Amino acid sequence: MKKLFEQDLKVVNVGLQGFATNITAAGGEVTNLTWAPPAGADPALGWTLATLIGDPRIEAANHTAFERYLAAQPRLVDLVRASEVIAGLGPRERRILHSGPPIAWPDMCGPQRGAIAGAILYEGWADDLDSAETLAGSGEVALEPCHEHGAVGPMAGIISPTMPVWVVENTAAGNRAYCNLNEGLGKVLRFGANSPDVLDRLRWLGSDFFATMQVAVRGLADPDLKPLMAQALHMGDELHNRNAAASALLFKRLTLSLLGSDVPSDAVRRALEFVAGNDHFFLNISMAASKSMSDAAAGVPGSSMVTVMARNGVNFGIKLSGTGDQWFQAPANPVDGLYFPGYTVDDAAADLGDSAITETNGLGGFAMAASPAIVQFVGGTPADATANSRRMLSITLGANPAFTLPPLNFGGTPAGIDARLVVDTGVLPIINTGIAHRQAGVGQIGAGITTAPMECFNDALAALASGLGEQK
């Protein structure tokens, strides 16, 4: 004991930082471990969590769901009009899909309302913005989440019947997912802009560009997306807010396809110029690929694996594999971001978009270690990016060996968010995101990092436990 007290003081402090500060002031060396009681110290929720940890039914269900996710093989198979492939968007139906969980028109944020009004003008259902907004609020146009139709959309997430959508098929299971086209940066529909120039761009994307890209996609020599996405991670993308490498890799494939086609050279040149000038072009395809992979894991009774994370600018919603189509919602967390000159957090809408489907699949914020350049856009340092990826391993069922991260010794990206682990550790899924102005028509004003709200996971666990109890 005497020898022990003669040694330099080295302490592991668990919990309150104040204890560590006092020891350091006294000359001791402290390793501080952040800790809090599981389930936010809620006794009832803590007991529910305790009954779910180690439950063999959940373990077996999670194994099945995770293996289906890992086995998924997304392939870009087509580009068609939404009305041709998405149920409920037929030519005689007035329905518009939006991002995030369900929400009524009066409760929507400014960017989503602006984008819906723009889509109504694009479809020719109204002649001016005032009439479009009146129509949207009348109930004569159905407004439903993309996720409830096998689709996803970034930011406002708008898909209307005549808009082109990418078709991605998981060839391992046969399920398909859809996403709209990426319009580029600036004032675009997905950020709520709906001015004449925005609509003119959408009409070109839905006509000449669509015709050219459809030929390109159908002529691809290699439509498999998983290897392309894996290569992009090794080239500095995280496949959410940074898609420069993936877009360039896709550009090569599209160009080679079009060189062998009979599409007029002027149309080819204009289409490829647009793709080459849009580093976010691959984002929407990445989202559809991620949707096809997560949907492969959905519908496994008893599984606590998260298959959907989505935001509508007001609420954040998740779905679990084992609780069917039920949404679990809570107010969206604010975004800790970098703002364009002239804008501040007071100008920002709440977290928005279906693009968190990438994080649901171990990409985006979960893969930040692969993309040190992303921190210039979302804040922090390369060390922070690596730490974020490591921290996500504490809340996932495993790692995806197909998507490896060089800074983590080529370990797989953290994947398969387990709602039990989120509640147990208090570690929230991290998400890279763009920031939209809270008013319609302004567009993007920055980018940053946010997290999912804990309340979603608390409610999801309660529902999962209730369902398992009924099975006994």
Tell the residue number behind the tokens 């989202």, with chain if given. 287
pLDDT tens-digit map of 166-175: 999 999 999 9
For the chain, percent of residues with pLDDT exceeding 90: 77
Q: Which residue type, as a one-letter code, is found at position 249?
A: L
- Does any domain span residue 67? no
Which of 352, 322, 354 lies closest to 419, judged by CA?
322
Number of domains the chain contains: 3
Which domain range does residue 29 map to?
2-35
DSSP 418: B
Q: For strand 176-180 and strand 151-152, is the pairing parallel, antiparallel, or unpaired?
A: parallel
Task: Give residue 151's pLDDT band: very low, low, confident or very high (50, 70, 90).
Answer: very high
Say yes or no: 171 and 123 in one domain. Answer: yes
DSSP 362: T
**CATH number of the domain encompassing residue 406:** 3.90.1700.10
Say yes or no: 22 and 56 in one domain. Answer: no
Among the residue ranges 297-301, 379-383, 391-395, the one predicted with the least confidence is 379-383
For residue 40, the SS3 value is: helix
Q: Which residue type, as a one-letter code, is found at position 97?
A: L
Q: What is the pLDDT of residue 470?
A: 60
pTM over 0.85: yes
CB 202 within 8 A of CB 189: yes
Cα angle for residues 246, 98, 245 (degrees, 5° grid) = 5
CB 371 within 8 A of CB 238: yes
**CATH number of the domain encompassing residue 282:** 3.90.1710.10
- Does any domain span residue 69? no
Tell the residue number behind the tokens 């028509």, with chain if given. 441
Instruction: Name the percent of the chain in helix, strand, coil, to the closest 5.
Output: 45, 20, 30
CB 441 within 8 A of CB 187: yes
- Does any domain span residue 363? yes
Say yes or no: 188 and 304 in one domain. Answer: no
Among the residue ranges 191-195, 239-243, 468-472, the one predicted with the least confidence is 468-472
- Does any domain span residue 70? no
CB 406 within 8 A of CB 234: yes
Among the residue ranges 16-25, 60-69, 163-172, 441-450, the one predicted with the least confidence is 16-25
Tell the residue number behind the tokens 């398992």, with chain if given. 468
